[in-house]
Amino acid sequence: MIDQEDFRPDPDELLKKINESESENTRGRLKIYFGMCAGVGKTYALLEDAHKAKSNGIDTAIGFVETHKRRETEKMTVGLETIPRKSIQYRGAIFEEFDIDATLERKPKLVIVDEAAHTNIPGCRHPKRYQDILELLDNGIDVLTAVNVQHLESRAETVKQITGSEIRETVPDSFIDRADEIEVVDITPDELLQRLSEGKVYTPEQSKRAIKNFFKKGNLTALREMVLRLTAERVDHQLRDYKAKEGIDRVWKSGQRLMVAIGPGPHSLELIRWTRRLSSTMEASWIAVYIESDKPLKDDEREGLARNLELAKDLGAEIITSTGLNVVNALLRIARLNNVTQIVVGKSRLQNFLTPKTIVDKLVEQSGEIDVYIVGGDEFTPKGLFPKIDFKFSTSLLQYFYAILSVVTTAVLSFQIKEDIGYQTISFIFLFLITLMPLVNFGRGPIIVASILSALIWDFFFIPPIFTIHISNTHDVLMIILFFVIAIVSGGLTAKVKAQERFVRSREERTNALFQISKGLSEAKNLDDVADIAVQSLKQFFRINATLLFVKESGELSPTAHRSSTFIPSDQEWYIAEWGFKNHQRSGKTTGNLPSAKALYIPIESSRTIYGIVGLEFTNENTPNFEQQTFLNSVIDRISAAVEREYLNNLAKNSLVIAESENLYKTLFNSLSHELKTPITTILAASSTLRNKNSSENSSLILDEIEKAGSRLNRLVENLLDMTRLESGRLSTHKELNELSEVVASAIRYVKNLHVENEFVFKCDSSDTLFEFDYRLIEQSLINVIHNCSQYSPKEGRIYVTLSKTPTEFSIVIEDEGPGFAQESLAHIFDKFYRAPGAKAGGTGLGLSIAKGFIEAHNGMISAENRIPNGAKFQIIFPIIKDYKPVDDEQ
């Protein structure tokens, strides 16, 4: 019986299938004509298909075709639309290149772009033409192109070995993997040679040279085999993929995972290609790992490492870099963490001086269940215990001076007591001195110099016969040897300890910096804060100028840099950033997209959304080295996370506003409908009563009621309009210089006109109450507060309004003689729609909340408390920002 579980497709697999078929719909289709070398007729086949497509009604255009003046081929271009090429001037000459912008603008359904491996002239968007093609595909344009087997990254080395010629123009294997269709254009080597000699490929002169070098029959046969094998492998994969898709057979992935350990050396390139080939045969994913050790990389090594990692990435590897003094442990740790089943390493040539085992030996020994492939090479030159003795003046000359001085001083002093203690004991004094040296941080060089010097001095001045270097005693010979051994061992140890210290310190610095950045970012309160901290951190830790461009609401990249930016991209640079933004890719300096830029532009993005671009401007001096780049990447990750957090926060805030306005609506319908209906009822009832002639003696009372109801409705509408303005966050204040005393008086007058019977007492202790404020808003606030007081006052109760001024603030105190506030309502009286328990009928609970909003828009403050002995007391405070001096007009 078959276990049902085994038939269940892996969810990841299904997801991948869905994603693939989705992207198949939006992305353009790529067809590659694949041949063993030039002259097999790829371009011809390509044009033939283009004609077919055109006659089928597909919008077809030629983007770039190199006919090499071959007549047959040239004939084939007739009748197809050709997009004009772009002319670029470079070093005085004019070059014609494929014009990607023109093609994107023209947007045919199918475009022909020959020779994917071509290297573009500097000044083009991408360094390589295949990158142009990828962009076309991303924009939904189908592409026909041609590639020779020698152009394939993973085969370049092999082709070089076969033909002996260096291959410069390559395309990454991932490009071939991207192809929806591959057509092999195949002719036999004999046929090709025939065509060559007929002059169909090159001019007779060129042909002769070609046949002598590249186009040897042996070469051609080998290349042809490569083409056919590669295609067969692919067909095999396609078949399996198809089966997997259709669920015909249980061909789920083996779960194999390869890991290749690489270093900065050129041999790693071969290791990477080897692993790629293995991974593609095994259908396994693969990781390329670099272990950063204690030894800092030299400049050329750094470049080599970057090149190696780039290649691995191009060939589809996942890149992991880690640190660790013990390479073996680090490799195994990463392997286990990533469920690696096979490790690929290069063969070590050198063995350790003190331990007979190479790193590879140790790896094999400790790898346990993981298989280890050892591929010829010298990647793991040990850098451990046996130190290379180099007299680099890495330590300062001063150290050498002190080392020599201390030896000489010891010698002089010892010479005085030589007679008393005997010459042999003196050797111990020297030895003691040398063993002390590492402790006081002497470098390797000075220690060795000191030990040689001590040995010579001891020999020359102390060992009898003195003033000769002759030694008769075996004892003494042994002692001399001992000098050297101790010197070398302590020198080595110091160097190691120091290196470790440096290593630990730089890690500590990085961790610390990362911690500080993360802390800063997590404490940031808004996007502006995040931007400030991000830019400052980049400046502080990398000495890099940065610019931040965020996404606009419309989804486009903002044309202006965030104000925190330390450099502003030029228009041209902005387009480069925008390109990266649109394509979700890094662009500019050190990338494959528009590398002529002054800065590197990195998308700030999460898995789904792009939030902007961070631009980093660095010169050759402060270009981040490899270690810094890893660090930089994690910093960018933190920044992206923080930016995303802020965007999500804003989103959450917006939905909160929506929720609140929904609440507003609800309250409107529940309670305000009552508020609206009451005055309307009054007006309608009153006016119909007026129509009845009998009630004429009451008419003035009835008219009073209509007027009251009308002003109540008006007040309600004003309140709702004000609240909406506050809620929408679009409250704009028109601040003007006005007299506070006037606005207070005017508010009191207004409330008095609302048929309020209270007596008002207005005290103003200052004649200078000029202050910059929005008259209408402050008047409205005061009306609301004073009206509120009058509502809760007994009829005969007074309302006191006191305006006073101190050097720093204006204070308006409004008091009534009503019941005051209940303790529990005191905290809520400024809340929207809050109505104190037992409040009089009428009122919306908006007045005080609006007053508070308006006052706060003037940097003011309103507070409420109970008045002693009874009543409510409101206090409004405005800070005085500027004192207005009287104007002298008598010029």
Partner 1 sequence: MMNSKHTILVIDDEPQIRSILKIILESAQLKVIMAETGKEGVVMAATHQPDLILLDLGLPDIDGHTVLSEIRQWSNVCIIILSVRKGEEDIVPALNEGADDFLTKPFNSAELIARINAHLRRTGKTNDEPIFSNGNLKIDFVKRLVTVDGIEVKLTVKEYSVLTELAKNVGKVLTQRQLLKSVWGPSYTEQPQYLRVFVAQLRKKIETLSNKHSLIVTEPGVGYRMPDLHSEL
Q: Are 374 and 358 in contact (CB under 8 A)?
A: no
Stretch that binds partner 1, among 4-12, 523-531, 733-741, 832-840 (CB under 8 A): 733-741
Q: Which residues in 860-889 contact partner 1 (CB under 8 A)? A: 884-887, 889
Strands (E), 531-608: 545-550, 587-588, 599-605
Q: Provide the token pair at 306.
A: 């970057």
Nearer to partner 1, 807 or 886 (CB): 886
Q: Evaluate the CA torsion angle 512, 516, 517, 518 in order and state its sign.
A: positive
DSSP structure string for 411-476: HHHHHHHHHHH-HHHHHHHHHHHHHHGGGGT--HHHHHHHHHHHHHHIIIIISSSTTS-----HHH
Q: How far is the CB of 553 from partner 1 (least distance, A)?
A: 26
Q: How far is the CB of 528 from partner 1 (least distance, A)?
A: 30
Q: How far is the CB of 801 from partner 1 (least distance, A)?
A: 13
Residue choice 473, 714, 724, 870 for contact with partner 1 (CB under 8 A): 714
**d(C-alpha 157, C-alpha 34), whole Å:** 18
**d(C-alpha 865, C-alpha 863), whole Å:** 7
Number of residues that bind partner 1 (CB under 8 A): 25
Is 851 exposed, middle or buried (CB count within 10 Å of its CB: 0-12, 13-18, 19+)? buried
Nearer to partner 1, 503 or 810 (CB): 810
Residue choice 738, 791, 804, 811 for contact with partner 1 (CB under 8 A): 738
Q: Provide the token pair at 683.
A: 């007006």
Stretch that binds partner 1, among 322-330, 386-394, 494-502, 729-737 (CB under 8 A): 729-737
Q: How far is the CB of 618 from partner 1 (least distance, A)?
A: 47
Q: How far is the CB of 736 from partner 1 (least distance, A)?
A: 7
Nearer to partner 1, 152 or 740 (CB): 740
Nearer to partner 1, 228 or 702 (CB): 702
Q: How far is the CB of 665 from partner 1 (least distance, A)?
A: 23
Q: Which residues in 740-799 contact partner 1 (CB under 8 A)? A: 741-743, 745-746, 767-768, 770, 774-776, 779
Nearer to partner 1, 285 or 682 (CB): 682
Distances (CA, A) of 362 to 57, 265, 377, 383, 384: 65, 21, 17, 15, 14
Residue choice 296, 710, 797, 819 for contact with partner 1 (CB under 8 A): 710
Strands (E), 671-750: 736-739
Within its chain, how far is the Cα of 573 from the centroid?
A: 18
Q: How far is the CB of 887 from partner 1 (least distance, A)?
A: 5
Asked if 608 interacts with partner 1 (CB under 8 A), we say no
Q: Are 46 and 114 in contact (CB under 8 A)?
A: yes
Measure the N-to-C terminal CA separation of the chain; round to a whole number of Å: 111
- Cis amide bond preceding 465, omega within 30: yes
Query: How many residues are present in the chain?
Result: 891
Q: How far is the CB of 734 from partner 1 (least distance, A)?
A: 6
Q: How far is the CB of 662 from partner 1 (least distance, A)?
A: 26
Nearer to partner 1, 42 or 715 (CB): 715
Q: Provide the token pair at 795.
A: 């009829």
- Could you identify the residue written with the tokens 């402060």? 622
Residue choice 737, 761, 822, 827 for contact with partner 1 (CB under 8 A): 737
Q: Which residues in 33-92 contact partner 1 (CB under 8 A)? A: none
Strands (E), 214-326: 257-261, 285-292, 318-323
**d(C-alpha 531, C-alpha 536), whole Å:** 8
Stretch that binds partner 1, among 156-164, 538-546, 643-651, 738-746 (CB under 8 A): 738-746
Q: How far is the CB of 663 from partner 1 (least distance, A)?
A: 26
Selection from 504, 482, 497 nearest residue 385 by Cα: 497
Within its chain, how far is the Cα of 3 from the centroid?
A: 46
Q: Which residues in 567-606 contact partner 1 (CB under 8 A)? A: none
**Which neighbouring-strand residues pair with 815?**
800, 873
Nearer to partner 1, 148 or 741 (CB): 741
**d(C-alpha 430, C-alpha 426), whole Å:** 7
Residue choice 739, 752, 754, 804 for contact with partner 1 (CB under 8 A): 739
What is the x/- site pattern for partner 1, positions 828-867, by CB under 8 A?
----------------------------------------
Residue choice 13, 736, 757, 759 for contact with partner 1 (CB under 8 A): 736
Q: How far is the CB of 817 from partner 1 (least distance, A)?
A: 24
Nearer to partner 1, 553 or 889 (CB): 889
Q: How far is the CB of 789 from partner 1 (least distance, A)?
A: 21
Cβ atoms within 10 Å of 441's Cβ, excluding its own: 11
Q: How far is the CB of 880 from partner 1 (least distance, A)?
A: 15
**d(C-alpha 177, C-alpha 302), whole Å:** 29
User: Contact residues for partner 1 (CB under 8 A)?
Assistant: 710, 714, 734, 736-739, 741-743, 745-746, 767-768, 770, 774-776, 779, 884-887, 889-890
